[in-house]
Amino acid sequence: MPITTKTGVEKFIEDSAAPKLLDGSARIWQRKLCYYPFPKQQRFHYSGAKYRLFGGAAGPGKSKALMMEAIVRANEHPGVNTLLLRRTFPELEASLLQYFRRDIPRELYRSYNDSKHVVTWFNESTTQFGYSRSESDIYQYQGAEYLFIGIDELTMFTLAQWQFLTSRNRCPVSGARPNMAGATNPGNIGHAWVKSLWIDKQAAAGMDSPGKYDPGDYDFIPARLCDNPIYAADVNYLKSLDALPENLRRAFLEGDWTVFAGQYFDNFNTALHVSRPEEIQFEPWWARWISIDWGFEHPAAVYWHTAAPRVGESAGGELGIGAAACRTVTYREFTGQHMSPRELAAAILDHSVDEKISAVYLSPDAFARHTDHETIADQIGNMFVAFGLPRPVPADNDRVGGWMLMYQMLEAEEWLITSNCVELIRTLPNLVRDNVRVEDIAKIDGDDSADAARYGLKSRHSRVAAGDAPYEQRLAARVTSGDPTIRAIQARKAQLAEHDHSSPIHFARRQR
């Protein structure tokens, strides 16, 4: 039986171990608003954190708690403003505004401005219902100050919008403590930065002042469907959620932040795709290549890759030319911000000592942009050539094809990442599909490592597809034994044969 009566809800709260509401705010909720917060909602209301996130599954009462928080804060202090936001007006209409009209008795407020969606309470405080459809719409709130800002479905907002709003979260009324809260399901464009700030408890990529991030300011209140007794007892609703595809089911029913709707690399599994570097027996004859996503304000990201022949996984001697003949291992990561091209080149050289690098793929924009009389690519390239590394060539920047290739390689277990590539491992599961170009991944702050890895995999793959059989694949065809000693002998022989017959790798050089 669903618990829909007040008595049923009250009983649920009494039966729970959650703290009971005793202060003045509670009296407003319970008597005037007839709001009886569920235990998780109580935890949300009681949190003293500057920035709260009520996040997780669908339906535990996040939006309602957010609205009640704004109303209670407005009524607690005279003459203050509170703000409730959704990304679009139709969404606002269907959620917060609908709850306001349905749940807040008319006699509790002085007026409601229907065109501005502003409620004025009897103490002259206000609660505004707003939205920010485009990225810049958020600036309409410039000049205003709000004691409380509640953002519903926070992951639909960008970090820049959130950061801007924090500057509007202030209040001159003494004793009033400005704070903000978000309510959200996992997923969407903001998944990565929201997860970073509240769940992983670390500064988000693209943050203005990451050094000033204080994890103590952020409180995450996880919520699951069963935290709302109305739905917890609704067998039909539970049944339909249970029938969803696994990822959606885990996100909506259990509030799992590692899988969510819209996630691109939903097949990324650390158990399958991440390995400790010491578990891999790197051979000196495996080809190695580097991919670089140039950045100055955004971090530059660099990856070192190698192609490990899948010896023994295919019939001896039949390893043909094709991606499946080798497994790509991305084995080293370097990220750096505010580094000049030459500083970046020096760092890459430092990390590549004693390695034979066959190619360097660099983001194409670095070939067009200058920081002095030379392009970024030339500055990096000149240093590389002077110290024995190949001159970078423009990376294949086919985004859709690149993401798809990465997905397929994960699916076929043809791509392994070593555990020291922490940024890449953190970023891949956070990437979401673009709403408009659904085959593409939405651009987000902090996607530099994924771009750099994509350059490495896609550029290499394009070379193979163009018929330029990589060195290590030609060797792989000759190194077939499972016995390490025989393998070493076969490798040495193959290397000597290659030395006699192979031609150097040529890349189209930039026109000067």
* Site residues, Mg ion (CB under 5 A): 62-63
Nearer to ligand ATP, 46 or 282 (CB): 46
3-state secondary structure of 109: strand
Residues lying near ligand ATP in the complex (CB under 6 A) are found at 9, 35-38, 41, 58-64, 99, 183, 185, 228, 230
Q: What is the largest CA-CA distance in the chain?
A: 92
Question: Helices 448-465 and 399-411: crossing angle, nearest 10°?
Answer: 90
64 binds, among Mg ion, ligand ATP, none (CB under 5 to 8 A by kind): ligand ATP
Q: Which residue is nearest to Mg ion (CB)?
A: 63
Nearer to Mg ion, 95 or 125 (CB): 95
Nearer to ligand ATP, 150 or 390 (CB): 150
Residue in the block written with tokens 């599961």: 429
| Nearest approach, Cβ of residue 144 and ligand ATP (Å) | 25
| Nearest approach, Cβ of residue 170 and ligand ATP (Å) | 27
38 binds, among Mg ion, ligand ATP, none (CB under 5 to 8 A by kind): ligand ATP
| Nearest approach, Cβ of residue 302 and ligand ATP (Å) | 40
| Residue 185 CA, distance from chain mean position | 14
36 binds, among Mg ion, ligand ATP, none (CB under 5 to 8 A by kind): ligand ATP
Nearer to ligand ATP, 55 or 178 (CB): 55
448 near 300, Cβ under 8 Å?
yes
| Nearest approach, Cβ of residue 58 and ligand ATP (Å) | 4
H or E, element range at 492:
helix 484-501
Sheet holding 109-113, edge to edge: 109-113, 118-121, 126-131, 81-86, 148-152, 179-184, 51-56, 218-223
| Nearest approach, Cβ of residue 153 and Mg ion (Å) | 7
Nearer to Mg ion, 88 or 490 (CB): 88
Query: Token pair for residue 123?
Result: 């103490």
147 binds, among ligand ATP, Mg ion, none (CB under 5 to 8 A by kind): none
293 near 300, Cβ under 8 Å?
yes
Nearer to ligand ATP, 23 or 483 (CB): 23
228 binds, among ligand ATP, Mg ion, none (CB under 5 to 8 A by kind): ligand ATP
Nearer to ligand ATP, 94 or 465 (CB): 94
* Coarse DSSP helix, strand, coil percentages of the chain, rounded to the nearest 5 percent: 40, 20, 40
3-state secondary structure 255-290: CCCCCCCCECCCCCCHHHHEECHHHCCCCCCCCEEE
3-state secondary structure 400-412: HHHHHHHHHHHHC
- 307 pairs with which residues across the strands? 328
Q: Which residue is nearest to ligand ATP (CB)?
A: 61
| Nearest approach, Cβ of residue 185 and Mg ion (Å) | 8
178 binds, among Mg ion, ligand ATP, none (CB under 5 to 8 A by kind): none
352 binds, among ligand ATP, Mg ion, none (CB under 5 to 8 A by kind): none
197 near 204, Cβ under 8 Å?
yes
Query: Token pair for residue 194?
Result: 């929201």
Nearer to ligand ATP, 60 or 187 (CB): 60
| Nearest approach, Cβ of residue 222 and Mg ion (Å) | 15
| Nearest approach, Cβ of residue 63 and Mg ion (Å) | 3
Query: Token pair for residue 102?
Result: 């349905």
Query: Token pair for residue 255?
Result: 């509030």
| Radius of gyration over every alpha carbon of the chain, rounded to an integer in angstroms | 28
37 binds, among Mg ion, ligand ATP, none (CB under 5 to 8 A by kind): ligand ATP
